[in-house]
Structure 1
Amino acid sequence: MRRHVLWGTVATAVVMTVLGSSSAQAEGRGDIRITKGVTNNGKSVIVGISKTVTFPVKLTIKDNSGVKKLRHIDVSGTGSNASGPVDLIGTSCRKLSHTTSECTATMRFDPHAFPWYSDTDANLTAGEWAAWGNVQANDGDYWIFDRAAPFKFKRAATLTATATRPNPFSDSRQVKVTGALARADWEALKYRGYGGQSLKLQFKKAGAASYATVKTVRTNSAGKVGVTVDASASGSWRWFYQGTANTMQVASPGAVMSLAKPTLHAARLP
Protein backbone atom coordinates (compact mmCIF):
# COMPACT_ATOMS: atom_id res chain seq x y z
CA MET A 1 0.00 0.00 0.00
CA ARG A 2 1.31 3.43 -0.88
CA ARG A 3 1.61 6.26 1.56
CA HIS A 4 -0.22 9.37 0.38
CA VAL A 5 1.24 12.69 1.51
CA LEU A 6 -0.40 16.11 1.53
CA TRP A 7 2.99 17.76 1.92
CA GLY A 8 2.08 21.41 2.44
CA THR A 9 -0.26 20.55 5.30
CA VAL A 10 2.22 18.16 6.91
CA ALA A 11 5.12 20.61 6.65
CA THR A 12 3.15 23.42 8.29
CA ALA A 13 1.88 21.14 11.04
CA VAL A 14 5.36 19.85 11.83
CA VAL A 15 6.84 23.34 12.08
CA MET A 16 4.02 24.55 14.32
CA THR A 17 4.40 21.50 16.57
CA VAL A 18 8.15 21.91 16.90
CA LEU A 19 7.81 25.56 17.83
CA GLY A 20 4.69 25.29 19.91
CA SER A 21 3.53 28.53 18.29
CA SER A 22 0.40 29.76 16.58
CA SER A 23 0.12 30.50 12.88
CA ALA A 24 0.29 34.23 13.68
CA GLN A 25 3.89 33.70 14.81
CA ALA A 26 4.81 31.57 11.81
CA GLU A 27 7.60 33.89 10.54
CA GLY A 28 9.48 33.88 13.82
CA ARG A 29 10.72 36.22 16.52
CA GLY A 30 13.79 38.41 16.95
CA ASP A 31 16.75 39.03 14.66
CA ILE A 32 17.84 35.47 13.86
CA ARG A 33 18.07 34.89 10.11
CA ILE A 34 19.51 32.52 7.50
CA THR A 35 21.98 34.56 5.47
CA LYS A 36 23.07 31.83 3.05
CA GLY A 37 21.91 28.37 2.01
CA VAL A 38 23.54 25.84 -0.34
CA THR A 39 22.44 22.29 -1.14
CA ASN A 40 24.84 19.62 -2.41
CA ASN A 41 27.62 22.21 -2.80
CA GLY A 42 25.61 23.98 -5.50
CA LYS A 43 25.10 20.92 -7.70
CA SER A 44 21.88 19.17 -8.71
CA VAL A 45 20.83 16.16 -6.65
CA ILE A 46 20.64 13.27 -9.14
CA VAL A 47 18.96 9.99 -8.28
CA GLY A 48 18.90 6.81 -10.33
CA ILE A 49 17.09 3.49 -9.76
CA SER A 50 19.19 1.68 -7.16
CA LYS A 51 21.95 3.70 -5.48
CA THR A 52 21.14 5.65 -2.31
CA VAL A 53 22.15 9.31 -2.66
CA THR A 54 23.36 11.33 0.32
CA PHE A 55 23.82 15.11 0.14
CA PRO A 56 24.38 18.10 2.48
CA VAL A 57 22.23 21.18 3.04
CA LYS A 58 24.38 23.96 4.51
CA LEU A 59 22.82 27.00 6.17
CA THR A 60 24.66 30.06 7.45
CA ILE A 61 22.67 31.41 10.42
CA LYS A 62 23.14 34.70 12.27
CA ASP A 63 21.79 36.18 15.53
CA ASN A 64 23.25 38.83 17.83
CA SER A 65 23.21 36.38 20.76
CA GLY A 66 24.63 33.50 18.75
CA VAL A 67 22.98 30.42 17.23
CA LYS A 68 21.71 27.70 19.55
CA LYS A 69 20.72 25.04 17.04
CA LEU A 70 19.12 23.99 13.80
CA ARG A 71 15.91 22.80 15.39
CA HIS A 72 14.24 21.17 12.39
CA ILE A 73 14.93 20.78 8.68
CA ASP A 74 13.52 18.91 5.70
CA VAL A 75 13.44 19.30 1.91
CA SER A 76 10.55 19.19 -0.54
CA GLY A 77 9.42 20.38 -3.95
CA THR A 78 8.49 24.03 -4.34
CA GLY A 79 5.62 23.48 -6.76
CA SER A 80 3.21 20.71 -7.67
CA ASN A 81 6.10 18.21 -7.31
CA ALA A 82 5.36 18.22 -3.58
CA SER A 83 7.64 15.61 -2.02
CA GLY A 84 9.61 12.39 -2.23
CA PRO A 85 11.09 9.77 0.11
CA VAL A 86 13.90 11.77 1.70
CA ASP A 87 15.37 11.06 5.14
CA LEU A 88 17.26 13.30 7.54
CA ILE A 89 20.44 11.49 8.61
CA GLY A 90 21.70 14.09 11.06
CA THR A 91 22.67 17.71 11.70
CA SER A 92 25.72 19.52 13.02
CA CYS A 93 26.72 23.16 13.55
CA ARG A 94 30.07 24.88 13.72
CA LYS A 95 30.58 28.35 15.11
CA LEU A 96 32.03 30.89 12.68
CA SER A 97 31.89 33.83 15.09
CA HIS A 98 30.05 35.02 18.21
CA THR A 99 26.97 35.74 16.10
CA THR A 100 27.21 33.30 13.19
CA SER A 101 27.19 29.53 12.75
CA GLU A 102 27.15 27.20 9.76
CA CYS A 103 24.76 24.30 10.25
CA THR A 104 24.78 21.24 8.00
CA ALA A 105 21.97 18.74 7.56
CA THR A 106 22.77 15.44 5.85
CA MET A 107 19.86 14.18 3.75
CA ARG A 108 19.34 10.89 1.93
CA PHE A 109 17.26 9.67 -1.01
CA ASP A 110 16.64 5.94 -1.42
CA PRO A 111 15.09 5.28 -4.87
CA HIS A 112 13.70 1.93 -3.69
CA ALA A 113 11.15 3.88 -1.64
CA PHE A 114 9.73 5.79 -4.62
CA PRO A 115 7.18 3.22 -5.89
CA TRP A 116 5.26 3.02 -2.59
CA TYR A 117 5.74 6.58 -1.36
CA SER A 118 2.79 8.36 -2.94
CA ASP A 119 -0.42 7.75 -4.88
CA THR A 120 0.92 10.00 -7.64
CA ASP A 121 3.59 9.23 -10.25
CA ALA A 122 6.93 9.30 -8.43
CA ASN A 123 8.61 10.76 -11.52
CA LEU A 124 6.62 13.96 -11.07
CA THR A 125 8.56 14.78 -7.91
CA ALA A 126 11.63 15.80 -9.97
CA GLY A 127 12.19 19.52 -10.40
CA GLU A 128 12.78 22.53 -8.13
CA TRP A 129 13.27 21.70 -4.45
CA ALA A 130 14.29 23.63 -1.34
CA ALA A 131 14.77 23.27 2.42
CA TRP A 132 12.30 24.29 5.13
CA GLY A 133 12.30 24.15 8.91
CA ASN A 134 13.33 26.40 11.80
CA VAL A 135 16.38 27.63 13.71
CA GLN A 136 16.80 28.91 17.27
CA ALA A 137 19.11 31.49 18.87
CA ASN A 138 20.67 31.53 22.34
CA ASP A 139 18.29 34.30 23.47
CA GLY A 140 15.18 32.35 22.44
CA ASP A 141 14.71 34.03 19.05
CA TYR A 142 13.58 31.65 16.31
CA TRP A 143 12.95 31.75 12.60
CA ILE A 144 10.74 29.54 10.43
CA PHE A 145 12.18 29.27 6.94
CA ASP A 146 10.99 27.82 3.66
CA ARG A 147 12.55 27.70 0.21
CA ALA A 148 16.06 28.02 1.62
CA ALA A 149 19.04 26.51 -0.22
CA PRO A 150 17.09 25.82 -3.46
CA PHE A 151 18.32 23.03 -5.71
CA LYS A 152 17.40 20.90 -8.71
CA PHE A 153 16.27 17.34 -8.00
CA LYS A 154 16.76 15.33 -11.19
CA ARG A 155 16.27 11.89 -12.70
CA ALA A 156 19.51 10.14 -13.69
CA ALA A 157 20.11 9.45 -17.39
CA THR A 158 22.32 7.21 -19.51
CA LEU A 159 23.63 7.77 -23.02
CA THR A 160 25.55 5.47 -25.36
CA ALA A 161 27.41 5.93 -28.64
CA THR A 162 28.61 3.52 -31.33
CA ALA A 163 30.58 4.55 -34.44
CA THR A 164 31.00 2.35 -37.53
CA ARG A 165 32.12 2.76 -41.14
CA PRO A 166 29.50 1.48 -43.58
CA ASN A 167 32.23 0.51 -46.04
CA PRO A 168 35.70 0.47 -44.39
CA PHE A 169 37.42 -0.94 -47.51
CA SER A 170 36.41 1.95 -49.80
CA ASP A 171 37.74 5.50 -50.02
CA SER A 172 34.55 6.76 -48.39
CA ARG A 173 35.05 8.77 -45.21
CA GLN A 174 31.51 8.23 -44.01
CA VAL A 175 30.91 7.29 -40.38
CA LYS A 176 27.61 6.10 -38.94
CA VAL A 177 27.06 7.10 -35.31
CA THR A 178 24.19 5.61 -33.31
CA GLY A 179 23.18 5.98 -29.68
CA ALA A 180 20.45 5.61 -27.10
CA LEU A 181 19.24 8.00 -24.39
CA ALA A 182 17.38 6.63 -21.34
CA ARG A 183 16.40 8.05 -17.97
CA ALA A 184 15.40 6.66 -14.60
CA ASP A 185 11.77 5.63 -14.18
CA TRP A 186 11.22 5.87 -10.41
CA GLU A 187 7.90 4.03 -10.64
CA ALA A 188 9.33 0.90 -12.27
CA LEU A 189 12.93 1.34 -11.02
CA LYS A 190 14.19 0.86 -14.57
CA TYR A 191 15.83 3.01 -17.23
CA ARG A 192 13.47 3.74 -20.13
CA GLY A 193 14.18 5.25 -23.55
CA TYR A 194 13.67 9.02 -23.59
CA GLY A 195 12.12 10.11 -26.87
CA GLY A 196 11.82 13.49 -28.53
CA GLN A 197 15.06 14.88 -27.06
CA SER A 198 17.74 16.87 -28.89
CA LEU A 199 21.21 15.31 -28.82
CA LYS A 200 24.38 16.94 -30.06
CA LEU A 201 26.70 14.78 -32.13
CA GLN A 202 30.24 15.80 -31.19
CA PHE A 203 33.65 14.94 -32.61
CA LYS A 204 37.17 15.15 -31.18
CA LYS A 205 40.05 14.72 -33.62
CA ALA A 206 42.75 12.32 -32.53
CA GLY A 207 45.17 14.28 -30.34
CA ALA A 208 42.74 17.17 -29.74
CA ALA A 209 41.76 18.31 -26.24
CA SER A 210 38.02 18.86 -26.63
CA TYR A 211 34.91 17.93 -28.56
CA ALA A 212 33.15 20.13 -31.13
CA THR A 213 29.49 19.85 -32.11
CA VAL A 214 28.89 18.54 -35.64
CA LYS A 215 25.09 18.50 -35.73
CA THR A 216 21.97 18.11 -33.60
CA VAL A 217 19.61 15.13 -33.91
CA ARG A 218 16.38 14.28 -32.09
CA THR A 219 15.78 10.86 -30.49
CA ASN A 220 12.93 8.68 -31.71
CA SER A 221 10.11 7.44 -29.46
CA ALA A 222 12.40 4.72 -28.04
CA GLY A 223 15.17 7.19 -27.22
CA LYS A 224 17.40 5.99 -30.06
CA VAL A 225 19.26 8.08 -32.60
CA GLY A 226 21.46 7.50 -35.64
CA VAL A 227 23.11 9.59 -38.33
CA THR A 228 25.71 9.18 -41.07
CA VAL A 229 28.27 11.96 -41.53
CA ASP A 230 31.47 12.59 -43.49
CA ALA A 231 34.49 12.46 -41.21
CA SER A 232 37.40 14.84 -41.69
CA ALA A 233 39.86 12.73 -39.71
CA SER A 234 40.22 9.81 -37.34
CA GLY A 235 39.01 10.52 -33.84
CA SER A 236 36.32 10.03 -31.23
CA TRP A 237 32.57 10.48 -31.61
CA ARG A 238 30.05 11.01 -28.82
CA TRP A 239 26.52 12.18 -28.10
CA PHE A 240 25.82 15.01 -25.65
CA TYR A 241 22.48 15.73 -23.92
CA GLN A 242 22.00 19.13 -22.27
CA GLY A 243 19.40 17.87 -19.79
CA THR A 244 16.25 19.57 -18.52
CA ALA A 245 14.87 20.92 -15.25
CA ASN A 246 14.06 17.34 -14.17
CA THR A 247 16.60 15.17 -16.05
CA MET A 248 20.38 15.26 -15.70
CA GLN A 249 22.88 16.37 -18.32
CA VAL A 250 24.89 13.48 -19.74
CA ALA A 251 27.56 12.73 -22.36
CA SER A 252 28.19 9.30 -23.81
CA PRO A 253 31.64 7.71 -23.70
CA GLY A 254 33.58 8.47 -26.88
CA ALA A 255 33.50 5.93 -29.68
CA VAL A 256 36.89 5.87 -31.45
CA MET A 257 36.88 5.56 -35.22
CA SER A 258 39.91 5.35 -37.52
CA LEU A 259 39.69 6.24 -41.20
CA ALA A 260 42.62 4.00 -42.10
CA LYS A 261 41.71 1.12 -44.37
CA PRO A 262 41.89 -2.34 -42.83
CA THR A 263 44.96 -4.34 -43.91
CA LEU A 264 44.16 -7.30 -46.10
CA HIS A 265 46.29 -10.41 -45.66
CA ALA A 266 46.56 -12.91 -48.50
CA ALA A 267 45.55 -16.42 -47.60
CA ARG A 268 48.51 -18.81 -47.56
CA LEU A 269 48.00 -21.81 -49.84
CA PRO A 270 48.88 -25.30 -48.53
Structure 2
Amino acid sequence: MRIRATVAAVSGALALSALALPSAAQADGAHGSTGSVADLARAAQSAAAHSGAKTGARSAAPAAEPAPLALTFSKFTINGGKPIVVGTTYTKRVPTTFTVTHAADVNIFAKDFMLEVGLYRGSFDKPANEFYGDDFPVCKAVSATVATCKGNIAVYPEFDLFGNADATKWKAVGYAVALNGQDPDEVEPGDVGFVVQDKLGTALVQRASKLTVNASPEPVKKGKTITVTGWLSRANWDDFKYHGYTAQPVKLQFRKKGGKTYTTVKTVKTNNKGDLKTTVKAAVDGYWRYSFAGTSTTPAVTATGDYVDVK
Protein backbone atom coordinates (compact mmCIF):
# COMPACT_ATOMS: atom_id res chain seq x y z
CA MET A 1 0.00 0.00 0.00
CA ARG A 2 1.32 3.44 -0.90
CA ILE A 3 1.57 5.53 2.25
CA ARG A 4 -0.68 8.58 2.48
CA ALA A 5 1.79 10.35 4.77
CA THR A 6 4.05 10.69 1.72
CA VAL A 7 1.20 12.31 -0.13
CA ALA A 8 0.70 14.79 2.68
CA ALA A 9 4.39 15.77 2.61
CA VAL A 10 4.40 16.41 -1.12
CA SER A 11 1.10 18.28 -0.87
CA GLY A 12 2.70 20.65 1.60
CA ALA A 13 5.62 21.31 -0.71
CA LEU A 14 3.28 22.07 -3.60
CA ALA A 15 1.20 24.35 -1.41
CA LEU A 16 4.32 26.36 -0.72
CA SER A 17 4.97 26.63 -4.45
CA ALA A 18 1.48 28.11 -4.77
CA LEU A 19 2.31 30.72 -2.09
CA ALA A 20 0.38 28.64 0.45
CA LEU A 21 -2.91 28.87 -1.40
CA PRO A 22 -5.38 26.57 0.40
CA SER A 23 -6.76 23.68 -1.65
CA ALA A 24 -10.50 23.10 -1.90
CA ALA A 25 -10.10 19.93 0.11
CA GLN A 26 -8.80 22.02 3.01
CA ALA A 27 -11.70 24.48 2.93
CA ASP A 28 -13.71 25.02 6.10
CA GLY A 29 -16.29 22.25 6.44
CA ALA A 30 -14.67 19.96 3.85
CA HIS A 31 -13.78 16.51 5.10
CA GLY A 32 -11.88 13.93 3.07
CA SER A 33 -9.25 11.28 3.71
CA THR A 34 -6.26 12.82 5.48
CA GLY A 35 -3.31 13.26 3.14
CA SER A 36 -5.28 11.87 0.21
CA VAL A 37 -4.37 12.07 -3.45
CA ALA A 38 -7.14 14.66 -3.71
CA ASP A 39 -5.16 17.02 -1.45
CA LEU A 40 -2.03 16.52 -3.50
CA ALA A 41 -3.72 16.89 -6.90
CA ARG A 42 -5.59 20.01 -5.82
CA ALA A 43 -2.39 21.47 -4.39
CA ALA A 44 -0.67 20.84 -7.73
CA GLN A 45 -3.63 22.37 -9.54
CA SER A 46 -3.48 25.44 -7.29
CA ALA A 47 0.27 25.79 -7.85
CA ALA A 48 -0.15 25.57 -11.63
CA ALA A 49 -3.13 27.93 -11.68
CA HIS A 50 -1.37 30.48 -9.48
CA SER A 51 1.56 30.49 -11.88
CA GLY A 52 -0.71 30.90 -14.89
CA ALA A 53 -0.49 27.35 -16.23
CA LYS A 54 -3.35 26.25 -18.49
CA THR A 55 -5.05 22.87 -18.34
CA GLY A 56 -4.22 20.76 -21.37
CA ALA A 57 -1.23 18.84 -22.66
CA ARG A 58 1.77 18.08 -20.49
CA SER A 59 3.77 20.85 -22.16
CA ALA A 60 1.18 23.52 -21.30
CA ALA A 61 2.90 24.54 -18.06
CA PRO A 62 6.38 26.05 -17.74
CA ALA A 63 9.08 23.82 -16.28
CA ALA A 64 8.79 25.46 -12.85
CA GLU A 65 5.14 24.51 -12.26
CA PRO A 66 3.25 21.21 -12.00
CA ALA A 67 1.99 20.08 -15.40
CA PRO A 68 -1.33 18.44 -16.32
CA LEU A 69 -0.97 14.75 -17.18
CA ALA A 70 -2.30 13.28 -20.41
CA LEU A 71 -4.80 11.08 -18.59
CA THR A 72 -8.59 10.90 -18.43
CA PHE A 73 -11.20 9.02 -16.39
CA SER A 74 -14.31 7.46 -17.95
CA LYS A 75 -17.02 4.81 -17.45
CA PHE A 76 -17.32 5.56 -13.75
CA THR A 77 -19.79 3.50 -11.68
CA ILE A 78 -20.46 3.37 -7.96
CA ASN A 79 -22.43 0.81 -5.97
CA GLY A 80 -23.82 -0.66 -9.18
CA GLY A 81 -25.89 2.49 -9.73
CA LYS A 82 -27.81 2.01 -6.47
CA PRO A 83 -28.11 4.66 -3.72
CA ILE A 84 -25.56 4.61 -0.90
CA VAL A 85 -27.56 3.93 2.27
CA VAL A 86 -25.77 4.83 5.51
CA GLY A 87 -26.88 4.21 9.09
CA THR A 88 -25.52 5.58 12.36
CA THR A 89 -22.85 3.13 13.43
CA TYR A 90 -21.39 0.74 10.86
CA THR A 91 -18.96 1.75 8.13
CA LYS A 92 -20.51 1.69 4.68
CA ARG A 93 -18.23 0.64 1.83
CA VAL A 94 -19.43 0.62 -1.76
CA PRO A 95 -17.51 -0.51 -4.87
CA THR A 96 -16.37 1.80 -7.64
CA THR A 97 -15.22 0.97 -11.15
CA PHE A 98 -13.78 3.21 -13.84
CA THR A 99 -11.52 3.29 -16.87
CA VAL A 100 -8.30 5.31 -17.21
CA THR A 101 -6.96 6.31 -20.62
CA HIS A 102 -3.47 7.79 -20.70
CA ALA A 103 -0.56 8.71 -22.95
CA ALA A 104 2.05 6.03 -23.58
CA ASP A 105 4.62 7.90 -21.49
CA VAL A 106 2.39 8.02 -18.39
CA ASN A 107 3.20 5.01 -16.21
CA ILE A 108 0.20 4.53 -13.95
CA PHE A 109 1.85 1.49 -12.34
CA ALA A 110 4.92 3.39 -11.13
CA LYS A 111 5.46 3.27 -7.37
CA ASP A 112 5.18 7.03 -7.11
CA PHE A 113 2.05 7.33 -9.26
CA MET A 114 -1.10 7.86 -7.19
CA LEU A 115 -4.71 7.77 -8.32
CA GLU A 116 -8.14 7.78 -6.66
CA VAL A 117 -11.75 8.81 -7.13
CA GLY A 118 -13.95 10.50 -4.58
CA LEU A 119 -17.39 11.96 -3.98
CA TYR A 120 -18.20 15.50 -2.94
CA ARG A 121 -21.28 17.63 -2.39
CA GLY A 122 -21.56 21.36 -2.80
CA SER A 123 -19.37 23.29 -5.23
CA PHE A 124 -16.25 21.84 -6.81
CA ASP A 125 -14.08 24.75 -5.65
CA LYS A 126 -15.35 24.60 -2.06
CA PRO A 127 -17.06 21.28 -1.32
CA ALA A 128 -19.25 20.99 1.76
CA ASN A 129 -18.09 17.40 2.35
CA GLU A 130 -16.06 14.66 0.65
CA PHE A 131 -15.82 10.85 0.74
CA TYR A 132 -12.87 8.67 -0.33
CA GLY A 133 -11.85 5.03 -0.15
CA ASP A 134 -9.84 3.23 2.53
CA ASP A 135 -7.08 2.59 0.02
CA PHE A 136 -6.20 3.46 -3.55
CA PRO A 137 -7.94 1.67 -6.44
CA VAL A 138 -6.37 -1.36 -8.12
CA CYS A 139 -5.95 -1.05 -11.90
CA LYS A 140 -5.35 -3.63 -14.62
CA ALA A 141 -3.96 -2.78 -18.04
CA VAL A 142 -6.12 -3.78 -21.00
CA SER A 143 -3.79 -2.11 -23.51
CA ALA A 144 -0.68 0.07 -23.51
CA THR A 145 -2.78 3.17 -22.83
CA VAL A 146 -5.99 1.91 -21.19
CA ALA A 147 -6.62 0.37 -17.78
CA THR A 148 -9.70 -0.67 -15.86
CA CYS A 149 -9.77 0.08 -12.15
CA LYS A 150 -11.68 -1.06 -9.08
CA GLY A 151 -11.86 0.63 -5.70
CA ASN A 152 -14.29 1.65 -3.01
CA ILE A 153 -15.78 4.61 -1.22
CA ALA A 154 -15.93 4.27 2.56
CA VAL A 155 -18.23 6.25 4.85
CA TYR A 156 -17.61 6.18 8.60
CA PRO A 157 -20.84 7.72 9.93
CA GLU A 158 -19.64 9.61 12.99
CA PHE A 159 -16.40 10.65 11.28
CA ASP A 160 -17.45 11.44 7.71
CA LEU A 161 -21.02 12.70 8.01
CA PHE A 162 -21.62 16.34 8.88
CA GLY A 163 -25.40 16.15 9.35
CA ASN A 164 -28.65 15.31 7.60
CA ALA A 165 -27.78 17.64 4.74
CA ASP A 166 -25.42 14.90 3.53
CA ALA A 167 -28.49 12.94 2.37
CA THR A 168 -28.49 14.28 -1.18
CA LYS A 169 -26.93 13.79 -4.61
CA TRP A 170 -23.12 13.73 -4.61
CA LYS A 171 -20.75 14.23 -7.55
CA ALA A 172 -17.73 12.11 -8.47
CA VAL A 173 -14.26 13.43 -9.22
CA GLY A 174 -11.03 11.70 -10.22
CA TYR A 175 -7.46 12.59 -9.18
CA ALA A 176 -4.06 11.40 -10.34
CA VAL A 177 -0.53 12.51 -9.42
CA ALA A 178 2.85 11.42 -10.82
CA LEU A 179 5.98 12.30 -8.84
CA ASN A 180 8.13 11.03 -11.72
CA GLY A 181 10.89 9.49 -9.60
CA GLN A 182 11.34 12.35 -7.16
CA ASP A 183 12.18 12.18 -3.49
CA PRO A 184 8.90 13.15 -1.79
CA ASP A 185 10.88 15.15 0.80
CA GLU A 186 12.55 17.26 -1.88
CA VAL A 187 9.93 17.52 -4.57
CA GLU A 188 10.40 19.87 -7.53
CA PRO A 189 6.93 21.15 -8.52
CA GLY A 190 7.95 21.38 -12.16
CA ASP A 191 8.49 17.61 -12.26
CA VAL A 192 5.05 16.76 -10.85
CA GLY A 193 2.22 15.72 -13.16
CA PHE A 194 -1.40 15.90 -12.06
CA VAL A 195 -5.02 15.42 -13.15
CA VAL A 196 -8.18 16.71 -11.51
CA GLN A 197 -11.25 15.61 -13.49
CA ASP A 198 -14.73 16.58 -12.33
CA LYS A 199 -18.18 15.33 -13.40
CA LEU A 200 -17.40 11.62 -13.60
CA GLY A 201 -20.90 10.78 -12.38
CA THR A 202 -23.25 11.13 -9.44
CA ALA A 203 -24.39 9.09 -6.45
CA LEU A 204 -27.39 9.44 -4.15
CA VAL A 205 -26.59 9.17 -0.44
CA GLN A 206 -29.55 8.23 1.79
CA ARG A 207 -30.36 7.89 5.49
CA ALA A 208 -30.99 4.24 6.45
CA SER A 209 -34.59 3.39 7.38
CA LYS A 210 -36.26 0.87 9.71
CA LEU A 211 -39.87 -0.30 9.91
CA THR A 212 -41.59 -2.48 12.52
CA VAL A 213 -45.04 -4.08 12.73
CA ASN A 214 -47.13 -5.78 15.40
CA ALA A 215 -50.61 -7.21 14.81
CA SER A 216 -52.67 -8.15 17.88
CA PRO A 217 -54.35 -9.89 19.56
CA GLU A 218 -52.95 -13.29 18.64
CA PRO A 219 -54.95 -15.45 18.22
CA VAL A 220 -58.18 -13.57 17.44
CA LYS A 221 -61.75 -14.60 16.80
CA LYS A 222 -63.12 -14.20 13.29
CA GLY A 223 -64.88 -10.86 12.86
CA LYS A 224 -63.12 -9.26 15.80
CA THR A 225 -60.79 -6.27 15.55
CA ILE A 226 -57.07 -6.59 14.85
CA THR A 227 -54.93 -3.60 15.81
CA VAL A 228 -51.79 -3.17 13.66
CA THR A 229 -49.09 -0.89 15.05
CA GLY A 230 -45.60 -0.04 13.82
CA TRP A 231 -42.80 2.49 13.78
CA LEU A 232 -41.04 4.06 10.78
CA SER A 233 -37.65 5.52 11.64
CA ARG A 234 -34.52 6.67 9.88
CA ALA A 235 -30.93 7.52 10.73
CA ASN A 236 -30.34 11.00 12.06
CA TRP A 237 -26.81 12.19 11.30
CA ASP A 238 -26.98 15.09 13.74
CA ASP A 239 -26.98 12.86 16.85
CA PHE A 240 -26.41 9.42 15.24
CA LYS A 241 -29.61 7.88 16.54
CA TYR A 242 -32.79 6.69 14.83
CA HIS A 243 -35.77 9.03 14.96
CA GLY A 244 -39.35 8.60 13.79
CA TYR A 245 -40.07 9.63 10.19
CA THR A 246 -43.18 11.78 10.47
CA ALA A 247 -46.14 12.40 8.14
CA GLN A 248 -45.19 9.59 5.74
CA PRO A 249 -47.68 7.35 3.87
CA VAL A 250 -47.14 3.67 4.61
CA LYS A 251 -49.05 0.74 3.12
CA LEU A 252 -50.67 -1.91 5.31
CA GLN A 253 -50.47 -5.22 3.47
CA PHE A 254 -51.83 -8.74 4.03
CA ARG A 255 -50.88 -12.22 2.82
CA LYS A 256 -53.10 -15.24 3.44
CA LYS A 257 -51.61 -18.32 5.06
CA GLY A 258 -50.18 -20.43 2.23
CA GLY A 259 -50.25 -17.49 -0.18
CA LYS A 260 -47.23 -16.04 -1.99
CA THR A 261 -48.09 -12.38 -2.49
CA TYR A 262 -49.12 -9.45 -0.32
CA THR A 263 -52.11 -7.25 -1.12
CA THR A 264 -52.39 -3.64 0.01
CA VAL A 265 -55.34 -3.16 2.37
CA LYS A 266 -55.02 0.55 3.14
CA THR A 267 -52.53 3.41 3.48
CA VAL A 268 -51.70 4.76 6.93
CA LYS A 269 -49.75 7.95 7.66
CA THR A 270 -47.13 8.16 10.43
CA ASN A 271 -47.80 10.55 13.31
CA ASN A 272 -45.44 13.17 14.72
CA LYS A 273 -43.29 10.42 16.29
CA GLY A 274 -43.22 8.10 13.28
CA ASP A 275 -45.78 5.75 14.84
CA LEU A 276 -48.34 3.78 12.84
CA LYS A 277 -51.68 2.48 14.09
CA THR A 278 -54.81 1.18 12.39
CA THR A 279 -57.47 -1.50 12.78
CA VAL A 280 -58.90 -4.21 10.53
CA LYS A 281 -61.44 -7.02 10.93
CA ALA A 282 -60.13 -10.57 11.35
CA ALA A 283 -61.16 -12.83 8.49
CA VAL A 284 -58.58 -15.53 7.77
CA ASP A 285 -55.18 -16.65 9.04
CA GLY A 286 -52.30 -14.70 7.56
CA TYR A 287 -49.49 -12.20 7.79
CA TRP A 288 -49.73 -8.42 8.30
CA ARG A 289 -46.97 -6.01 7.43
CA TYR A 290 -46.22 -2.35 6.71
CA SER A 291 -44.38 -1.22 3.58
CA PHE A 292 -42.81 2.20 2.96
CA ALA A 293 -42.04 3.31 -0.62
CA GLY A 294 -39.16 5.64 0.32
CA THR A 295 -38.24 9.23 -0.52
CA SER A 296 -35.24 10.91 -2.14
CA THR A 297 -33.43 11.04 1.22
CA THR A 298 -34.64 7.73 2.70
CA PRO A 299 -34.81 4.27 1.07
CA ALA A 300 -37.83 2.01 0.83
CA VAL A 301 -38.28 -0.48 3.65
CA THR A 302 -40.75 -3.28 4.40
CA ALA A 303 -41.37 -4.91 7.78
CA THR A 304 -41.33 -8.67 8.20
CA GLY A 305 -44.90 -10.00 8.24
CA ASP A 306 -46.54 -10.66 11.63
CA TYR A 307 -48.71 -13.80 11.66
CA VAL A 308 -52.20 -13.76 13.18
CA ASP A 309 -54.15 -16.95 13.79
CA VAL A 310 -57.89 -16.42 13.27
CA LYS A 311 -60.13 -18.83 15.22
- TM-score over 0.5 (shorter chain): yes
CA distance in 2, matches of 1:159, 1:28: 52
AA aligned opposite 2:120: S
Change (3 A) 1:42 1:4: same
SS of residue matched to 2:135: strand
Letter in 1 for 2:212: T
The structure with the greater share of residues assigned to helix is 2
Match of 1:158 among 210, 216, 223: 210
Out of 142, 152, 164, the residue aligned to residue 96 of structure 1 is 142
Counterpart for residue 43 of structure 2: 17
1:46 Cα offset (Å): 1.3
Return closer, same or farther for 1:238/1:174 CA change in 2, 3 Å cut-off.
same
Quick check: 2:122–2:129 contact (8 Å CA) kept in 1? no
Deviations 1:13-59 (A, max 9, x none): 76432455328767654874333111122222111111111222221
Distance 1:88 1:43, change over 3 A: same
Q: Which residue of 2 aligns with 1:123?
A: 164
Larger proportion of strand: 1
CA distance 1:33–1:86, change in 2 (3 Å): closer
Aligned residue in 2 for 1:145: 197
Q: Aligned partners of 2:88 and 2:303: how far apart in 1?
A: 19
Deviation at 1:182, TM superposition (A): 0.8
After TM superposition, give the deviation of residue 209 of structure 1 in Å.
2.1
Alpha-carbon contact 1:200-1:214 (below 8 Å) kept: yes
AA in 2 matched with 1:220: N
How far is the alpha carbon of 1:101 from its aligned partner? 1.5
1:221 lines up with 2:262 in the alignment = no
Q: Of the candidates 11, 22, 34, which is equivalent to residue 73 of structure 2?
A: 34
Amino acid at match of 1:195: T
Instruction: Tell me how far 1:210 sits from its aligned partner.
Output: 2.5
CA contact (8 A) 1:179 1:224 kept: yes
Partner of 2:87: 48
* TM superposition score normalised by structure 2: 0.67
2-side partners of 1:163 and 1:246: how far apart?
29
After superposition, the Cα gap between the structure-2 partners of 1:27 and 1:125, relative to the gap in structure 1 and judged at 3 Å, is: farther
Cα shift at 1:76 = 1.3
For residues 13 and 51 of structure 1, do their structure 2 counterparts lie closer, same or farther at Cα, with a shift above 3 Å needed?
closer
State the shift of 1:77 in Å. 1.8
Deviation per CA, 1:71-114: give whole Å up to 9, x if none.
3432112579x544744311211123334212223222111225
Report the aligned-residue RMSD: 3.5
In terms of mean alpha carbon deviation, does 180-189 or 33-42 score higher?
A: 33-42
User: Partner letter of residue 71 of structure 1?
Assistant: L
Residue 188 of structure 2 is matched in structure 1 by: none
Find out whether 1:132 has 2:132 as its counterpart.
no
Q: Which residue number corresponds to residue 264 of structure 1?
A: none
C-alpha distance in structure 1 between counterparts of 2:44 and 2:27, whole Å: 22
Q: Aligned equivalents of 1:103 and 1:201: distance in 2?
A: 44
Q: Distance in 2 between matches of 1:176 and 1:63?
A: 64
Say whether residues 1:243 and 2:294 are aligned partners. Answer: yes
TM-score, with structure 1 as normaliser = 0.77
Change over 3 Å in CA distance of 1:211–1:27 after alignment to 2: farther
**1:4 positional shift:** 7.7
* Whole-Å separation in 2 of the counterparts to 1:5 and 1:45: 25
Which residue in the other structure is 2:12 paired with? none
1:73 counterpart = 2:117:
yes
Matched residue SS, 1:21: helix
